[in-house]
Amino acid sequence: MFSKEKLISYLATTAISLWLAASGPASAQLQIEIVDGVEGALPVAVVPFDFGNAEMQPETSMHEVIAADLQRSGLFDPLPVSDMIDRPTRPPEISFGTWRLLEVDYVAMGRWIPGSDGVSGEIEYHLVAVNSGRTLFSRAIAAGPGAFRLRAHQIADAIYEELAGAPGAFASRIAYVRVAGAGTEDEQFELIVADSDGHNPQTVVRHSQPIMSPAWGPEGRRLAYVTFATGRSNIVIQDIFTGQREIVSESRGINGAPAFSPDGRMLAMSLSRSGNSEIWVRTLESGRMERLTDHWAIDTEPAWSRDGRRIFFTSDRAGRPQIYQVRRDGTGIERVTNEGAYNSRVSVDPYSGLLAMVHGGQANFRIAVLDRESGRLRVLSPGRMDESPSFAPNGRMVLYAAREGERGVLAAVSVDGRFRQRLVLADGDVREPAWSPLIQ
Amino acid sequence: MNFALKFFLVSALAILLGACATDTRDVPAEPEPQPQEPSEPSEPVEVDRVNPVDFADSRNLDNPESTLSQREIYFEFDRSDVRAEYLPIIRAHAQYLKANPSARMLLEGHADERGSREYNLGLGERRGNSVLDLMQAEGASASQIEVVSYGEERPVCRQSSESCWERNRRVEIVYTAR
């Protein structure tokens, strides 16, 4: 093991953020189970990466992380390592015949190339198509202690992008709220940030009063959320690496539903300081406040369009909650949803601009995706109490909260609705997931 | 216990509670023990008996016979209009506020779990505001009342059933100063 000082100096020099300046590891990790699989997932093999006799051994098994990522996407069917006949580390070492016999279409492999200090170095990795015999890519990426897991996710993203034709989203994080001891004297709310595979959960903030509505900054290091720590709702922005916190709204009434603008310079919110909930935008640097709506209805849950020129929001101005949009200057309010008695809590697909929302009526609340170009609304989730949709940074999956009996679980579903997984905590209740942007 | 001793204890308790009620205005958290109803109508304790329809009397806040002891107002799904059956409760508390200008009240608005959380935060506030408006219409001063919404974050019942949901769709009247 390396000393803490050495680790810190390594991290400082390589600028790889090891982990959060948080109040410590969270008690339990999300377990991911695949619920509905996809027929015809691509057969791939991720060969164990070769670290030889290097002094530096990764803290994590890279090929396992990569294979698990690919499997979780629903598009790939990784071959178990125990079925592999040989273990190439570079394309010239591949004997294509054996992989064809195993009916594997693509083989990923890699090896560690130590640097002069023996601590940091590079991972060289390759992807080969078995049938054509072509090498699809050969690349290298810097790595070192504490960074292997992130590098594994990034390699999985590279494989995904090469084979699926769209960026991956494995090198990302999820934030969620966990409630322990719900309904008891010891009830605790925790805001947790974990890797996209549920690994390494870290508590960002913990309190006996409710915590709600986490939202990521576009750089993936700031989280805005609502806390009731004072007994009233306040909006806080917290840097997950330094732990630095700033209260950005504590006006009379509701301070809720924060949403960073795509450029990260503004925060949209729902505030009731003027008497009832309206959409406001705060310019973070200057503190300038602008009110975008002025209506007796509940106007809340703002979500920015990808170009930052419009804001989608929930309003019950027509009686029941529906999705509306307003231009950034407060003009041009227009209704967006027409199908269904209840539509709320939009999440905007950062990749193609689809809108995910809570869609329902009296009995069922489900996650639906609206394609505004075709006008088509597709219901993706099967639950009765599904909520809080959040798009993956590549737009391929929607993470959301569901209820099972008296507890909350997280689930993710592909935008075509064909593939679904559950993210379950051994104990406690989880809710309000927010998927981060890609970690660069 | 013989009758004389019992009589003495009940009288002593009643006097003690009377004293407490005027001295502990700012301590609403612990519900006080209820004054015992004397079993015999001729008991002299009756001189100190609380009139349950005297809504200016802070002792009625803890008197189960008085409307002032009722602090919950329930709502229909996705609605914030107050049903007529709850108007007497609101009137009683409005009269109390009017008679006790130093009293302060929190109206905690809540929603059931259905639908999205932030919308429900708005709904809880709107329910609180409906009660606030009626309190004001009955003569209470807005400066005595604050509305706080907890949305669906503080349910009293956690099953996903209508019987549970209807208990969660509520405004709770909480005195922060009596």
How many domains in chain B? 2
Task: With both helix axes pointing from N to C terminus, report the angle between B117-137 and B87-99 in degrees, rounded to the nearest 10.
Answer: 60
Query: Residue B92 and residue A176: Cα distance in Å, rounded?
Result: 43
Residue A405 pLDDT: 85
Residue A362 pLDDT: 66
Residue length of chain B: 178
Name A234's bridge partners: A227
Q: Are residues B40 and B72 in the same domain?
A: no
Q: Are residues B71 and B41 in the same domain?
A: no
Judge whether B27 lies within some domain: yes
Q: Are residues B76 and B141 in the same domain?
A: yes
Closest CA to A304 of A373, A380, A249, A355: A355
**Nearest-CB residue to B114 (from A183, A231, A365):** A365
With vertex at residue B153, the alpha carbon angle to CA A243 and CA B144, rounded to the nearest 5 degrees, is 100
Q: How many CB pairs under 8 A join A and B?
A: 95
DSSP state of B170: E
Determine contact, residues A408/A431, Cβ cutoff 8 Å: yes
Q: Are residues B113 and B163 in the same domain?
A: yes
Q: Are residues B45 and B83 in the same domain?
A: no
Scanning the structure block, which residue is given the tokens 């290097």? A54
**Which residue ranges make up each domain of chain A?**
39-164, 173-435
Is B158 in contact with A406 (Cβ distance < 8 A)?
yes
Assign a CATH topology to domain A39-164.
Answer: Rossmann fold (3.40.50)
Give the domain extent around B99: 67-177
Q: Are residues B100 and B157 in the same domain?
A: yes
| A267 to chain B, closest Cα gap in Å | 16
**Nearest-CB residue to B122 (from A182, A277, A432):** A277
Question: Within 10 A of A8 (CB to CB), how many other CB atoms are there?
Answer: 12
Query: Residue A247 and residue A268: Cα distance in Å, rounded?
Result: 14
Determine contact, residues A348/A306, Cβ cutoff 8 Å: yes
What does the block give as tokens for B78? 């996705």
- pLDDT, tens only, B77-90: 999 999 999 999 99
Residues in chain A where the model's pLDDT stays below 70 = 1-27, 37-38, 56, 362, 426
Query: Residue A26 and residue A4: Cα distance in Å, rounded?
Result: 21
Is B77 in contact with A362 (Cβ distance < 8 A)?
yes
ipTM for the whole predicted complex goes beyond 0.85: yes
Q: For the range A240-247, what are the long-range contacts, defined as Cβ-Cβ under 8 Å and sequence gap of 24 or more?
A: A240/A20, A240/A21, A240/A22, A240/A193, A240/A204, A241/A17, A241/A20, A241/A21, A242/A21, A243/A20, A243/A21, A243/A22
Q: Are residues B81 and B38 in the same domain?
A: no
Q: Are residues B39 and B84 in the same domain?
A: no
Residue B10 pLDDT: 43
- pLDDT, tens only, A124-157: 999 999 999 999 999 999 998 889 999 999 999 9
Judge whether B12 lies within some domain: yes
β-sheet with A310-315: strand ranges across: A299-304, A310-315, A322-327, A334-335
Cα B48 to chain centroid distance, Å, stands at: 22
Residue A116 pLDDT: 86
Is A276 in contact with B151 (Cβ distance < 8 A)?
no
Query: Residue B17 and residue B34: Cα distance in Å, rounded?
Result: 9
**Nearest-CB residue to B125 (from A182, A272, A320):** A272
Q: Are residues B37 and B104 in the same domain?
A: no
Residue A6 pLDDT: 39
Q: Are residues B117 and B78 in the same domain?
A: yes
Best mutation target, B80, B107, B108, B116, to test chain A (most A CBs within 10 A) = B116
Q: Are residues B38 and B71 in the same domain?
A: no
**Nearest-CB residue to B114 (from A254, A256, A385):** A385
Residues 275-334 of A with CB under 8 A from B: 276-277, 298-301, 314, 316, 320-321
Burial class (CB within 10 angstroms; exposed 0-12, middle 13-18, buried 19+) of A277:
buried
Contacts of B122 in chain A (CB under 8 A): 254, 256, 270, 272, 276-277, 298-300
Judge whether B57 lies within some domain: no
Residues in chain B where the model's pLDDT stays below 70 = 1-48
Is B117 in contact with A213 (Cβ distance < 8 A)?
yes
Q: Are residues B172 and B85 in the same domain?
A: yes
Residue A106 pLDDT: 98
Cα A140 to chain centroid distance, Å, stands at: 25
- Compute the mean pLDDT over every residue in chain A, rounded to the nearest whole number: 91
**Nearest-CB residue to A212 (from B117, B126, B159):** B117
Residue A425 pLDDT: 74
Q: Does A372 reach chain B within 8 Å, measured CB to CB?
A: no
Task: With both helix axes pointing from N to C terminus, report the angle between A148-164 and A62-72 in degrees, rounded to the nearest 10.
Answer: 40
Assign a CATH topology to domain A173-435.
Answer: Neuraminidase (2.120.10)
